[in-house]
């Protein structure tokens, strides 16, 4: 989940998906191992005002300032994949 009205996520040089709003940067990274490099391709799948089914998160309204995003690190991978979210602020 991230702030609404954030600039669209875009792929960075290291295959992460990145977006920034109000000086806060959201970074979604992928890896095939938990102790390796985080440079596997990540795909931004969808954006919604509703949380993922089965997540247990409450349904969000259009005006509460937050939106849900789904990502995948499995495109092109033959097996497992891991995602991590990083948020940075000045």
- The pLDDT confidence band at residue 59, using thresholds 50, 70 and 90, is low
Encode pLDDT of 16-47 as tens digits: 999 888 888 889 999 888 887 888 888 888 77
pLDDT of residue 45: 82
Residue-level pLDDT at 62:
55
CB of 32 within 8 A of CB of 40?
Answer: yes
Close Cβ partners of 69 (under 8 Å, ≥ 6 residues apart):
1, 2, 9, 44, 45, 46, 47, 48
CA distances from 18 to 57, 65, 70 (A): 23, 19, 13
- pLDDT score of 6 more than 80: no
Higher local confidence (pLDDT), 31 or 49: 31
More confident residue, 78 or 27: 27
């Amino acid at each position: 989940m991230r702030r609404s009205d954030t600039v669209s996520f875009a792929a960075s040089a290291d295959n992460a998906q990145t977006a920034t709003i109000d000086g806060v940067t959201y970074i979604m990274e992928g890896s095939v191992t938990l102790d390796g490099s985080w440079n596997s391709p990540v795909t931004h799948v969808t954006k919604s005002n509703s949380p993922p089914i089965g997540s247990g998160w409450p349904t969000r309204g259009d005006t509460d300032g937050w939106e849900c995003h789904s990502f995948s690190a499995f495109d092109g991978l033959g097996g497992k994949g891991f995602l991590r979210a990083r948020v940075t602020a000045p």
